[in-house]
Amino acid sequence: NHSESSPKVLEGNDLQSLAKYMKSDSCRNICLMLGAGVSTSAGIPDFRSPGTGLYSNLARLNLPCPEAVFEMDFFRSNPVPFYTLAKEIYPSRYRPTLTHSFIKVLHSHGLLHTCFTQNIDTLERRAGVPEEKIIEAHGSFATQKCIDCKDPYDDAKIEKAILNSEIPRCERCKGLVKPNIVFFGEALPKRFYQSALSLELEGDADLLIVMGTSLTVNPFASMADRVKGCPRVLINLNEVGNFHRQDDIVLLGKCDDIVRRLCRELGWEEELDREWEAT
Ligand code: CNA
C-alpha cells in the first residue's frame, strides 16, 4: 500500500499547504486530469449533472439511449442527433474559462508536465496551452475525417456545415464526415496510452490535479489511482474517485473559484486575470 509506505510530503491537506508545496523546489512537474466540469462555466453543459447535463437533455433527439449519440452504428444510420449536439457544443461558440487560463499560467511558470483532458472542446489550446502539452484522450473537434475513406476534411468547411445544421459529406466518396472525437468502441489515441503509461512507470509527476470530472469513464479515470508517489488534488463540485491517501487534498466547489483562491495564495492572481482577459 503506497499511501502507507511513502513519506508525507504536504504539511496539511488544505489549499495553503498545496500552494506552499507548489512554490517549493520539490514541485516541478504538474500533471492535470480534466473533465467537462472545467468547461461548464463557459456554457458547455457536462454529461452527468442532473437536469443541466447533456444526457438529461438528449431526450428530445429521440435516441434509443443518450449514449447512442456517440455510437458509430447509430451515427451511420442517423447522424442528425450527433450533428444537432455538435452544433450546440461547437467550440468556436465558447470562450475558455478561468480554469483553462490557470493551465496556461502553470505552463508559463514551467510547471506543466502534461494536461490530460477528456474534453473535446479544444478550450485548453484556445487558452494558449501548447498542443504538445495536451493529451485529448477522447479526441476533439480540432480535426475531422470521412468515416469510410478516412480522407481528412477541411476545418472551415465543417464548421460552416455544423453551424448551418448541414451534414458534412466527404468530397471524394460522399461518406459521412465525423470530427475526430472518440466514439464508444473506438480506440483512444496512442499518445494517451503512451503518456499515461510513462507517467505511471517513470513517476514523472510531482503533483496530480484532477478537475471537473466524475471519474467514471475508463481507462481515463483509472489513471488517477495508477499515479503513485505524489500528492493528488481533487477539485470538483462533489466528491468522486478515491482520494484517501495521506497526501491527497479534496477541494470541493466550482473549479474557477478554487483556482482563483489557489492563485491568490501563490501570488499569481493578477497574472491569471491577465491571461483570462487575453482569451
Ligand atoms: P461528467 O461525467 O459530466 O462529470 C462532470 C463532473 O464535473 C461532475 O462530477 C460535476 O459535479 C463536476 N462539475 C460540473 N461543473 C463543475 C464546476 N464548475 N466546477 C467543478 N466541478 C464541476 O464529465 P466527465 O468529463 O467526467 O465525463 C467524461 C466524458 C464527458 C468525456 O468523454 C467527455 O468527452 C465528455 N464531455 C465533454 C465536454 C466538453 O468537452 N466540454 C462536455 C460534455 C461531456
> What is the pLDDT at residue 7?
66
| Atom 25 in ligand 1: residue holding the nearest Cα | 35
- Ligand 1 atom nearest residue 181's Cα: 34
Ligand 1 centroid to 276 CA: how many Å?
21
Mean predicted confidence (pLDDT) in 155-173: 96
Q: In a 3-state reduction of DSSP, which class is residue 168?
A: coil
> What is the pLDDT at residue 1?
42
Share of the chain above pLDDT 90, in %: 82
> What is the pLDDT at residue 36?
95
Q: Which three cell numbers stand for residue 156?
A: 472551415
Ligand 1 centroid to 148 CA: how many Å?
30
Cα gap 3→193, rounded to integer Å: 25
Q: Which residue carries 503513485 as its cell?
A: 228
What sign does the CA torsion over 239, 240, 244, 248 have? Answer: negative
pLDDT tens-place string over residues 97-133? 999 999 999 999 999 999 999 999 999 999 999 999 9
Residues catalogued as catalytic: 138
Cα gap 99→133, rounded to integer Å: 16
Residue 167 counted as an annotated binding residue = no
User: If we measure between CA atoms, which residue out of 71, 53, 121 comes closest to residue 93?
Assistant: 121
| Atom 18 in ligand 1: residue holding the nearest Cα | 254
Interface confidence, given as ipTM, is 0.97
Q: Measured from the CB, is residue 41 less than 6 Å from ligand 1?
A: yes
Compute the mean pLDDT over every residue in the chain, rounded to the nearest whole number.
Answer: 93
Residues linked to residue 112 through DSSP beta bridges, in sequence order: 30
| Atom 14 in ligand 1: residue holding the nearest Cα | 37
Contact 158, 171 (CB under 8 A): no
